[in-house]
Amino acid sequence: MRVGIGLLFAIVLAGCEERNEVILPGTPTAAVIVDLHPGQTFRPPGAPFTARFDSVTSDSRCPLGVQCIWAGDGATGLSLVWDVGPASACTLHTTLAPKIITAGGYYIQLIELDPYPRYGYPTNPAAYIAVLQSGPIGYID
């Protein structure tokens, strides 16, 4: 039994020693997904900016319970507040382009815009939630 445990321990250590990638502390290693209400911000890990979901600038998505000939589009206004320099504004869409932007070596993509419109029930602008994915450009899905 001791030989089996010792052999297992040696294999685990050997696997650790063969690993030759180095990940520095604070280095982003994957994309993150965030849910933001209007006015909320997030900073992609390691990014030189903070992104703020300002508002839904238009929502022409076909409401639930209605048959449409076009799916429509939801447009979200975002601000990128840079560590150095002026802020920049951009718009991300649910159907039209752009659905994704790149800035400072990172991307931000609109994954979803909630709630989905319902016929006869106007959406309170403060109730919107933008589901955004962000990460280093090399991790775009």
Note whether 110 and 132 are within 8 A (CB). Answer: yes
What gap in Å lies between CA 1 and CA 96, rounded to an integer? 63
Q: Can you give the pLDDT at residue 17?
A: 33
Q: Can you give the pLDDT at residue 29?
A: 57
Nearest to 40 by CA among 101, 130, 125: 130
* Mean pLDDT of the chain, nearest integer: 82
Q: Can you give the pLDDT at residue 10?
A: 38
Overall average pLDDT of the 87-115 stretch: 96
What gap in Å lies between CA 119 and CA 93, rounded to an integer? 21
Overall average pLDDT of the 70-82 stretch: 96
Confidence bin at 95 (pLDDT 50/70/90): very high
The lowest-confidence range among 8-12, 67-71, 75-79 is 8-12
pLDDT tens for residues 12-59?
333 333 333 333 445 555 789 999 999 999 999 889 999 999 999 999
Q: What is the pTM of this model?
A: 0.76
Q: Can you give the pLDDT at residue 26?
A: 52
Q: Can you give the pLDDT at residue 139?
A: 56
Note whether 43 and 50 are within 8 A (CB). Answer: yes
Q: Can you give the pLDDT at residue 138?
A: 72
